[in-house]
Structure 1
Amino acid sequence: MDALISLAPPIAAVVLALLTRRVNISLFLSILLGAWIVAGNPIAAVGQTFDWFAEVMTDEWNARFLVLVSLLGAGAAFMHTTGGSQALAQWLSGKVSSSRGSLLLTWLLGVVIFFNDYVNSVIVGNASRDLTARHNVSREKLAWTIDATSAPMATLGPVSDWIGYQVSLIAGAFAVLSLTGEQPYWAFLQSIPWNFYALLCLASVPMIIVMGDFGPMKRAEGRAQETGELVAPGDNPLSSVEEDLGEVPEGRGRVWNFLIPLVVLIGVACWALWFTGGGSEGKPLMEAIADTDVSVSLSWAAFAMVFVGIVMALLQRQSLEACENTLLAGFKTMLPALVIMVLAWSIGTVTGALETGDHVIAATESWLSPTLLPILIFAIAMVISFSTGSSWGAMAILTPIGVPLAYNIGDMTLVSMAIGAIFSGSIFGDHCSPISDTTVMASIFSGSDHVAHVKTQIPYALVPASVSALLYLGTIVIASPYILLAIGLVLQAVVIKLLASRRA
């Protein structure tokens, strides 16, 4: 019963958002519900709700993230007003001749930009938004393509802030077990083949692009291809740089107006992730990445991107007033997303106050056995990450529990399975929960309505999630993750083909 009560607010948020298509109101009401459960009466619940808002907005990491997103919006605005995005789309349009090709290019960019999921969304969204629009790709399809590559790639690496975080969690669990002879990074590498969801999710993108759409996405793509409406009538994109800033005169910029700020963003981000983690003090790369301050590092990178954008605008003889207007418009276009993020963080605070993760684990721990451990850990991680909107939170809750449990009832092979299952289930929630920050980021930089993105994406996420669950069950009889992955890829392709052959 405690588990059901603690899950009530996040479930209410998801259900209300899908039913009403008003994500802000839905999130607020679910937070109020959580506050009522905690405070015990509706009057005190109002005060508790606004206490939580104040708490999440004054948290150092959250405050830096709000600044980061605002700066990224400004950077994207300068890419637009200097003509960089337009020039890139024109150049790529000569290389790509179909909607399928534009989406495959988007997926490939997402695979290449692996070192951070936020930067992935910014770069891939800005690089592909105009190109896919020229081929009448719906914003929902673009948002899914971005979202389905950003988090899975960040968790697989080879080097990212996610991996540093994951390795640090494994190291903590090994320390508790006194496993001094085991290397945490090697244990992470051994877990990658068991991270079925991330691998299958990445593979599902080109599969669906080539084989065809199904479910709500099929209807969205039909609308876009037949009418040219990239966003459904009545939908409200979280961000629209083009609408906020207007059209750019033809031929104003060159591809360099896009590429130079992009290179600066990536370069400063990579350097800052290494530097803030103590790389300049002689720490090995992976230790530096594990100890890095992501919010500080990416804020520096975003500021550098904006600074370069301003310089390039001034070199085009744009006035200081025009630069200031671009800067403010970039901030403005991020405002709806910032509101959703504050509300989503507050839901996370609600689940923390209700001890959702602990209750879910307590309700399922009596079922655990060596043969069922991988599938149960995967399912629990899915529930926690989806309901909290945080993959890192789910990883932090489950790794200290799942790794020692796997070691005590099995061996290091079971530990690798457990680690892969934890990260796999955690990625599911981060990928498709409406209150996940990376889901919001995908909506922002694709120019999609957020609820439409979630509604069309969930059926696509459930395919690799369902196949992954079957593969974790398959560990009972098949010991090789590579054989299981091969089976999973074939099964996933068959399922997608069957679904795509059905009418919308």
Structure 2
Amino acid sequence: MRTDSGATTVGRGLKDDPGRGTSLSILGYGAILACFAYMSTWQGEDGAYGVLSLLPSLLIVIIAIKTKRPLESIFAGIIAGSLLIDPTNLFSSLGELSMNVVQNETIAWIVLVCGMMGGLINMLERGGSVLSFGQMLANRIKTKRGTMLTTSFLGLAVFIDDYLNSLAVSASMKNLTDRFKISREKLAFLVDSTAAPVCILVPISTWAVYFGALLEENGAVPDGQGMSLYIESIPYMAYGWAAIVVVFLVAFGLLKDFGPMKKAEERARNGQPVPDGVEDVGFDTSNVRRTSIPVGLMNFLLPMAVLIIASIYYEIDLLLGALVASIFTMVLYFAQRLMTFGELTDSMLDGFKVMLHPIAVVCAGFMVKAINDELGMTTYIIDTISPYLSPELLPALVFATMAAVVFSTGSSWGVFVVSLPIVIPMAQAMDMSMPLTVGALLSASAFGSHACFFSDSTVLTSTGSGCTPMQHALTQIPYAMIGATLAFVSFIVMGYAIA
């Protein structure tokens, strides 16, 4: 605080002394990391870390809530985990971990898909197609409730992949939600709630293809029957159904805003749908081409149709679908002289740049998973709850524990490579319904993707909607927890009914 004469008053707090506050933060982080290095000596004789394996993920959550910066909090957890494993080789282990993640086939796929999708959406934005789609909707939708319901139904329609849902639906609905003073956080919630939770319920999706193959690899069913088991499990995927119920209750206005979402909506009603601190988030729309609504609508729907058809044709591969759709869009726009080849190329590159931060967060999340795997976190959690398992409680406890694991790692797919070889034999030994067990596992995966502040779905949805991952996550978590509670109770009921 300053006096009228401009002199600084004496006795100001730490908030007014950024230098001192930064020094204390550095000292605090240094002390925490030193504690992790010291705790590396507590490793058990059998090489197990036990409860210590939970600490890096706990540190990530605490720092993220305090700083609202997911990438920095993840790296703090990575460093802490590396110190816990081997404090004497910190830099070499971090370098090796980084190389392993960069060379990972899944990471390469994610980087390319995110980049291609970012470029495609940016072309649609700059070509005026997204604007035309929004204007078409604006001519037909006259209420705030109608806007939220339309967003939710669009999310249900784009079921082939949660990445496509997160980016395409959010980008196409931003202008309309802004018009009706709906916060970007509410938009992100509506989109994200119809991303992973819906994708698990549809057998024609990237999730179904991946998990169907994974079930066969882990002996849940004979070869060639993974998809059949997946389809049998869909009625038991309680979190997916619960999330859809919650999102439509919100869209209809039957479930009122509360918690951080209430504050975000109050800000939007006062004329600020875009939250503070997101000037650099989202795609550049400063140079949008103007077309007639019919032409713009055609230029939006055709690339989307090509994207979906090509993805299905290439066995639900969104990378090849995005590549075909991007080339198709460039040819379509160039033929109409809507944009030059140079402008189309720049749009693709700029869209890729927008996705660099989300890609970095997702890659860092995979590094967290690798650290947790080395610490044995998943195995420790499952071993801890095993004495309390019974056929009746198995589905509910599998859902709760695996949801916690996915939430703490941000890896809705990768974590099941570790957990399925443990959970599937456990269910078979208890003679538990395999569709119900798979339903619990997929529900846990969807919840983790939906609720985790650094999961790929959360980060991409926030980027497409125009808010930060923490703003999106903190406003969404209370609603995700409602869905998780409904799912947990459902699994208890189904466990006693089926066991």
- Class of the TM-score when normalised by the shorter of the 2 chains: 0.7 to 0.9
What residue in structure 1 maps to residue 416 of structure 2? 395
Between 460-469 and 47-56, the greater mean CA deviation after superposition: 47-56
Secondary structure of 2:270 counterpart: helix
Cα offset for 1:346? 1.5
What residue in structure 1 maps to residue 318 of structure 2? 298
- 1:465 aligns to 2:484 (yes or no): yes
- 1:54 aligns to 2:75 (yes or no): no
Q: Deviations over 1:366-396 (max 9, x none)?
A: 2111222122111111111111112223433
Matches within 5 A, 1:121-136: 121-136=166-181
Letter in 2 for 1:215: G
**What stretches of structure 1 of length at least 5 have no aligned partner?**
275-296, 481-504
Q: Deviations over 1:257-285 (max 9, x none)?
A: 211211121111111126xxxxxxxxxxx
- 1:14 aligns to 2:14 (yes or no): no
Q: Deviations over 1:324-372 (max 9, x none)?
A: 3323322222222222222222112211221221111122212111222
Secondary structure of 1:97 counterpart: coil
Query: For the Cα contact (< 8 Å) 2:459–2:469, is it kept in 1?
Result: yes
RMSD: 2.4
Percentage of matched positions with identical amino acids: 29
- 1:425 aligns to 2:444 (yes or no): yes
Cα offset for 1:37? 0.9
Q: Deviations over 1:368-426 (max 9, x none)?
A: 11222122111111111111112223433333333332232235xx3332222111122
- 1:72 aligns to 2:117 (yes or no): yes
Query: For the Cα contact (< 8 Å) 1:238–1:450, is it kept in 2?
Result: no
Partner residue of 1:257 out of 299, 304, 312: 299
Question: Taking structure 2 as the reference length, what is the TM-score of the superposition?
Answer: 0.83
What residue in structure 2 maps to residue 155 of structure 1? 200
- 1:141 aligns to 2:186 (yes or no): yes
Letter in 1 for 2:73: S
What residue in structure 2 maps to residue 368 of structure 1? 389
Matches within 5 A, 1:209-358: 209-210=251-252, 211=254, 212-227=256-271, 229-235=272-278, 238-242=281-285, 245-249=286-290, 251=292, 254-273=296-315, 297-314=317-334, 315-358=336-379
Matches within 5 A, 1:174-193: 174=219, 183-193=225-235
Cα offset for 1:472? 2.3
What residue in structure 1 maps to residue 31 of structure 2? none
What residue in structure 2 maps to residue 30 of structure 1? 77
Q: Distance in 1 between matches of 2:338 and 2:434?
A: 60
Aligned length: 448
Letter in 2 for 1:334: M
Cα offset for 1:477? 4.9
What residue in structure 2 maps to residue 447 of structure 1? 466
Cα offset for 1:247? 4.5
Partner residue of 1:207 out of 249, 252, 261: 249
Cα offset for 1:31? 0.9
Cα offset for 1:302? 1.6
In the superposition, relative to structure 1, how do residues 118 and 3 fare at CA in structure 2: closer, same or farther (>3 Å)?
farther
Q: Tell me which structure has the larger Cα radius of gyration.
A: 2
Cα offset for 1:174? 4.1
Query: For the Cα contact (< 8 Å) 2:163–2:457, is it kept in 1?
Result: yes
Secondary structure of 1:259 counterpart: helix
Letter in 2 for 1:338: I
Cα offset for 1:102? 1.4
Between 370-379 and 326-335, the greater mean CA deviation after superposition: 326-335
Q: Distance in 1 between matches of 2:353 and 2:435?
A: 45
Question: Taking structure 1 as the reference length, what is the TM-score of the superposition?
Answer: 0.83
Query: For the Cα contact (< 8 Å) 1:89–1:128, is it kept in 2?
Result: yes
Letter in 2 for 1:191: S
Q: Which has the higher contact order (CA 8 A, sep 6+)?
A: 1
Between 392-401 and 208-217, the greater mean CA deviation after superposition: 392-401
